[in-house]
Amino acid sequence: MSDRLSVLKTYKLYVGGKFPRSESGRVYEVTDCKGTWLANAPLASRKDARDAVVAARKAFGGWSGATAYNRGQILYRIAEMLEGRREQFIAEVADAEGLSKAKATAQVDAAIDRWVWYAGWSDKVAQITGGANPVAGPYFNLSSPEPTGVVAVLAPQDSSFLGLVSVIAPAVVTGNTVVVVTSEKSPLPALSLAEVLATSDLPGGVVNILSGRTAEIAAPLAAHQDVNALDLAGADAGLAKELETAAADNLKRVLRPEPADWSADPGTGRLLSFLETKTVWHPMGV
């Protein structure tokens, strides 16, 4: 092996399809489970959160208006891109979570497969949640699901990659755009995922990724009047209560944290949590 000095990566945030540093100029030290330095990650501020919400809102119209087929193709493309960088993510996950290579591999493979699972949902979710309602009158009446809007997602703290994918994919596949706060202690797989998203035809702003102190970034997101929903997967009970209380100010939809086995069959619960049902009536007559 060579003695070549490796080139280190500067990890950045992912906002609006771009890779900015935190506007605060802050970083924090990320270590592996043994305390060895891995990298410096951006310590995002409330202003970064604000910028991310603006980007997510801007992307919402186009992404929610894209055809379901198109969204499915793009999610599948993410899986394709990840497959090509599989080794990189196995290494990052192993470092981040202190896993053996075999266990890290299982996590990454499951994460790639999860994108594929959700990609296929894009054009089926309306068929399992919507439908015609047989009203007692001369009216055509149809209910269909629509994305809730901008979702702030606190990624799980302990599953830096599989858990992360398991909360991003179900929100975006239906047309929501998201602002994701990474695992606080293990942000690197998430920040690397941004590089995959940026090369997968996913429009800028659909997924925005912030690393830093979960509680610090989550507070402005939970209070933000232009955020429509909150996934509290990565919040502990105390923080979750505080954020849910703040979220009441504009009646965000809140998905409370629950103990989760991210390797299990994800089911449809999360997929259906960030949908609104729209019901359209029209008379039938000549």
Partner 1 sequence: MTSAFEYAPAPESRAVVDIAPSYGLFIDGEFAEGSDGKVFKTVSPANEEVLSEVAQASADDVDRAVKAARKAFEKWSALPGAERAKYLFRIARIIQERSRELAVLESLDNGKPIRESRDADLPLVAAHFFYYAGWADKLDHAGYGPHPRPLGVAGQVIPWNFPLLMLAWKIAPALATGNTVVLKPAETTPLSALFFADICRQAGLPKGVVNILTGDGSTGAALVAHPDINKVAFTGSTEVGKAIARTVAGTDKKVTLELGGKAANIVFDDAPIDQAVEGIVNGIFFNQGHVCCAGSRLLVQESVQDELLDALKRRMQTLRVGDPLDKNTDIGAINSAEQLARITALADAGEAEGAERWAPACELPGSGYWFAPTLFTGVTQAHRIAREEIFGPVLSVLTFRTPEEAVAKANNTPYGLSAGIWTEKGSRILWMANKLRAGVIWSNTFNKFDPTSPFGGYKESGYGREGGRHGLEAYLNV
Partner 2 sequence: MPNTVPAYGKEAAGRLASMADVTADDGALRRFLHGLPGVDAVGLQARAATLGTRSIKTTAKAYAIDLAISMIDLTTLEGADTPGKVRALCAKGVHPDPTDRTVPKVAAICVYPDMVATAKEALSGSGIHVASVATAFPAGRAALPVKLADTRDAVAAGADEIDMVIDRGAFLCGRYMEVFEEIKAVKEACARPDGSAAHLKVIFETGELETYDNVRRVSWLAMLAGADFIKTSTGKVAVNATPPVTLLMLEAVRDFHAATGVQVGVKPAGGIRTTKDAVKYLVMVNETLGEPWLTADWFRFGASSLLNDLLMQRQKLSTGRYSGPDYVTVD
Interface ranges with partner 2 (CB under 8 A): 137-139, 283-286
> 182 is in the binding site of which of partner 1, partner 2, none (Cβ under 5 to 8 A by kind)?
none
Nearest distance in Å: CB 130, partner 2: 23
> 277 is in the binding site of which of partner 2, partner 1, none (Cβ under 5 to 8 A by kind)?
partner 1
Nearest distance in Å: CB 248, partner 1: 4
> 232 is in the binding site of which of partner 1, partner 2, none (Cβ under 5 to 8 A by kind)?
none
> 259 is in the binding site of which of partner 1, partner 2, none (Cβ under 5 to 8 A by kind)?
none
Decide whether 65 or 285 has the Cβ nearer to partner 2: 285
> 284 is in the binding site of which of partner 1, partner 2, none (Cβ under 5 to 8 A by kind)?
partner 2
Nearest distance in Å: CB 138, partner 2: 5
Considering only CA atoms, which of 233, 260, 230, 267 is closest in space to residue 246? 230
Nearest distance in Å: CB 53, partner 2: 42
Decide whether 65 or 137 has the Cβ nearer to partner 2: 137
Decide whether 102 or 128 has the Cβ nearer to partner 1: 128
Considering only CA atoms, which of 164, 22, 147 is closest in space to residue 97? 164
Decide whether 251 or 284 has the Cβ nearer to partner 2: 284
Nearest distance in Å: CB 205, partner 1: 19
Tokens 């998905």 locate to: 255
Strands 229-231 and 253-255 turn out to be parallel
Decide whether 102 or 135 has the Cβ nearer to partner 2: 135
- Which residues of the chain form contacts with partner 1 (CB under 8 A)? 128-129, 131, 133-137, 139, 141, 143, 148, 228, 237, 240-241, 244-245, 247-251, 253-254, 256, 269, 276-283
Decide whether 251 or 286 has the Cβ nearer to partner 2: 286
Nearest distance in Å: CB 93, partner 1: 31
